[in-house]
């Protein structure tokens, strides 16, 4: 009986030693194996950028678990800026009468994605333009209506609905004017001028090309070094929100027909 117990105990010890040796061998093998590495991936939130002729700034969201680089063909009209997981694409104005395009290449290790950039052409001048278009200047001030704080940017605001106009126009007496926006568009020019009570007066409205207009405005007031926001409205024949209207400030205060001389 004692011999059997001794044999059993010896067997158990030998089995434990064998298990330890196998475990150590497995550990040594794991040391030799390279650590698990996730496969690289690369994805973009867009494959196409469409820019108007005047250019603009666009962004591409890049998702990757590897460091990535972006390159473009040797062109001067596109500038690339990498910021974390975003690629900013600055497209300069196209002064040519033809469209242009190029591809941005984004690479992470052996993965590559492309974003195509298409830019519209500048409209060719037409012999029938420019055309001067008649307009009226609504006297909102006469019914105690004035342009409010929501009109806080420089340039032209195109208004083609009553709701949009009421978002900008503030009236002290519940006398909000009604305009037939099926026939007319309200153009509101605004900016900042250093003057006492600057008065802005629209003096001319032109169609420059098929989709481009210009509104000429002159300013009246004494320069005093205090910045004040001004606004002026012109009611013109119906135009689309998609067209471009440029603001042109005209300074001809010495003209005998200048509106400042007539008003004051």
Tell me the CATH number at 66: 2.60.40.10
The reply to whether 113 and 177 lie within a common domain is no
Looking at the 3D structure of the chain, how many domains does it have? 2
The reply to whether 73 and 146 lie within a common domain is no
How do beta strands 111-119 and 42-44 pair? unpaired
Q: Does 73 map to a domain?
A: yes
The reply to whether 212 and 149 lie within a common domain is yes
The pLDDT of residue 5: 43
Which tens digit of pLDDT belongs to each residue from 163-198? 999 888 888 877 788 899 999 999 999 988 776 666
Q: What is the mean pLDDT of residues 100-111?
A: 94
The mean of the pLDDT values for the chain is 81
Burial pattern 69-105, b for ≥16 Cβ within 10 A else e, equals ebebeeeebbeeeeeeeebebebeebeeeeebebebe
Residue with tokens 């300074």: 251
Q: Which domain holds residue 83?
A: 42-119
Q: Return d(Cα 203, Cα 248) in angstroms, integer.
A: 10
| Last-in-domain residue among 89, 119, 149 | 119
Q: Return d(Cα 191, Cα 53) in angstroms, integer.
A: 25
The pLDDT of residue 256: 47
Reading the block at residue 119, the tokens are 């830019």
Cβ atoms of residues 249 and 202 within 8 Å: no
Sign, CA dihedral 215-257-145-229, equals: positive
| Last-in-domain residue among 87, 119, 151 | 119
Which tens digit of pLDDT belongs to each residue from 128-159? 788 999 999 988 878 888 887 788 888 999 99
Percent of the chain scored above 70 by pLDDT?
77
Reading the block at residue 136, the tokens are 């009226």
The reply to whether 148 and 221 lie within a common domain is yes
| Last-in-domain residue among 119, 145, 172 | 119
State yes or no: pLDDT of 222 exceeds 80: no
The pLDDT of residue 143: 81
Sign, CA dihedral 219-220-223-226, equals: negative
pTM, full prediction: 0.52
Q: Does 147 map to a domain?
A: yes
Please write down the long-range contacts of 202-207, taking CB distance under 8 Å and 24 or more positions apart. Answer: 202/135, 202/137, 202/232, 202/233, 202/234, 203/250, 203/259, 204/132, 204/250, 205/132, 205/133, 205/134, 205/135, 205/234, 205/236, 206/130, 206/131, 206/132, 206/133, 207/129, 207/130, 207/131, 207/133
State yes or no: pLDDT of 32 exceeds 70: no
Range of lowest pLDDT (6-15, 111-120, 151-160, 192-201): 6-15
Q: Does 249 map to a domain?
A: yes
């Amino acid at each position: 009986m004692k011999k059997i117990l001794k044999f059993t105990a010896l067997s158990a010890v030998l089995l434990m030693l064998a298990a330890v040796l196998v475990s150590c061998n497995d550990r040594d093998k794991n040391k030799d194996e390279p650590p698990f590495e996730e496969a690289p991936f690369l994805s973009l939130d867009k494959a196409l950028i469409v820019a108007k002729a005047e250019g603009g700034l666009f962004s591409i969201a890049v998702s990757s678990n590897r460091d990535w680089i972006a390159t473009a063909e040797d062109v001067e009209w596109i500038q690339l800026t990498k910021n974390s997981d975003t690629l900013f694409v600055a497209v300069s104005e196209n002064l040519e009468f033809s469209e242009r395009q190029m591809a941005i290449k984004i690479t992470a290790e052996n993965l590559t994605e492309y974003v195509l950039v298409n830019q519209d052409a500048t409209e060719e001048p037409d012999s029938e333009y420019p055309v001067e278009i008649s307009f009226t200047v609504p006297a909102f001030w006469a019914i105690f209506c004035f342009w409010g704080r929501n009109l806080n940017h420089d340039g032209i605001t195109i208004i083609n609905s009553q709701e949009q106009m009421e978002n900008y126009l503030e009236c002290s007496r519940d006398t909000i004017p009604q305009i037939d926006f099926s026939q007319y568009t309200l153009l509101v020019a605004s900016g900042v001028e250093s003057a006492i009570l600057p008065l802005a007066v629209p003096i001319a409205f032109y169609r420059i090309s098929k989709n481009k207009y210009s509104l000429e405005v002159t300013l009246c007031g004494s320069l005093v070094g205090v910045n004040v926001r001004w606004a002026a409205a012109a009611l013109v024949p119906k135009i689309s929100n998609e067209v471009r209207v440029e603001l042109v400030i005209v300074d001809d205060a010495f003209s005998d027909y200048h509106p400042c001389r007539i008003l004051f």
